Amino acid sequence: MPEEKNKEQDECFECKKKKDARWRQDFPVEWESDNYVTRREMVKFLALGSLTIAGANAVLAGIPHIVKAAELPRTRVALASSIPVGGSKLFSYPTEEDPCILVRQANGDLVAYSQVCTHLSCAVVHDEKENALFCPCHHGYFTVDEGRPYAGPPTRPLPRIKLEQQGNEIFAIGVEA
């Protein structure tokens, strides 16, 4: 015990020596306390961060109203008479790199979707037996009438292609998200 006490006294002596050093008197700034972040500073930082995030959210909300979607081309897809009930046809829209699928439903209506699966971008195909759009990579199923996923890993619907029929010809005129 007495040894410890002596040690403490020695340390204090050293501390005192440091405190009394001439350079300490000339430069009394403590780096540790200089870098110390107080709670008040933290609250101010959080408030500014809150303002920044609110601003970023407002910008994001304004983007769709400022940037108008580019006009998509009107592309001839197929002849209506060439697709029987339950049949399908592949085409590309709006560019050659965007594969799509056109399907005639049992009620005779034509629907078209992007062929790119919303899970991991494999190409979906029409499964006539199941009356569904089927992704063979991970066994994802989408409904033909709405393109909604109902089985397998996909969670988002397939983008729908807007169609227009003029006489016997079918045209793709846009993409619905």
Partner 1 sequence: MDNRQAQGTTLFTALLVLIGIGVVVQLWLLAASVDALMRHQQKIPLYAALGSAAVFVINGLLVLYVINFDRKIKQ
Closest contact distance (angstroms) between CB of 63 and partner 1 is: 7
- How many residues touch partner 1 under the rule CB under 8 A: the total is 22
Of 120, 125, 129, the residue nearest 154 (C-alpha) = 120
Q: Interface with partner 1 by CB under 8 A: which range of 4-12, 18-26, 47-55, 73-81?
A: 47-55
Alpha helices in the chain (DSSP H): 2-20, 22-26, 31-35, 39-66
Strand bridging mode 169-176 / 160-166: antiparallel
Does 42 help bind partner 1 (rule: CB under 8 A)? yes
Report the Cα 132 to chain-centroid distance in Å: 26
Which part of the chain contacts partner 1 (CB under 8 A), choosing from 23-31, 61-69, 85-93, 130-138?
A: 61-69
The interface region with partner 1, picked from 8-16, 49-57, 127-135, 146-154 by CB under 8 A, is 49-57
**CB within 8 Å of 146: residues ≥ 6 apart:** 157
Q: CB of 49: closest distance to partner 1 in angstroms?
A: 6
Radius of gyration of the chain (CA): 34
Q: By the criterion CB under 8 A, which residues form the site for partner 1?
A: 39-40, 42-44, 46-47, 49-51, 53-54, 56-58, 60-61, 63-65, 156, 177
